[in-house]
Amino acid sequence: MDSQTITILFVGDERCGKSTLLSDLDQPFIFDIRTRRGDYRLEFYDTSSPESWRLLWPDLVILCYDISQRLSLINLQRVWNKEVRTAGVTGDSTPVLMLGLKRDLRSENDPNGTIYPQEAYRMAQEMRLDKYMECSAVTGELLEEVFDDICTTALKTTTSEGGQSEGGCTIM
């Protein structure tokens, strides 16, 4: 049985942690998984892809920001969310998730720079995103849970129900 390919696009500012999350291998980052429903090939791309990410028609989009940099979250809302929606990258049924990276750099001593989950979740709801997640690729904190959520959502895009969440944004 042939595997079904699912394209996942990570977008966000440079140095927000996308490549660290996926590793520094050549793109696309490819993961083959097997479930009871079949075999799947997940192809992960990010905005530093050698190919123009605007030419992809991804099955799932993940908006990424650096938890320790407020400007990264502002850019997510003002630039990246609008960019993926107006560049024709997403369709009406394409799930869009929000991922906070560099969780290990969250600082209690810098309340103006650090973004807490409640604030990011509220922004994800305002942007009408399907899910909010966060993790640290460096320490591995919540990394497995994030990949589980991404894979679960990605696999749902292959069903008739699709991968969008019912009733708005959910938090991991």
Sheet of 170-171, strands arranged across: 29-35, 38-46, 4-11, 60-66, 96-101, 131-134, 170-171
Take residue 83 and report the two structure tokens written for it: 């960019």
Residues in the chain with pLDDT < 70?
1, 24-27, 48-51, 88-89, 111, 163, 165-172
pLDDT (0 to 100) of residue 124: 95
The number of folded domains in the chain is 1
Domain encompassing residue 42: 4-171
Tens of pLDDT, residues 70-104: 999 999 999 999 888 887 667 778 899 999 999 99
The rounded distance, in Å, linking the Cα atoms of 43 and 152 is 14
CATH, residue 87: 3.40.50.300
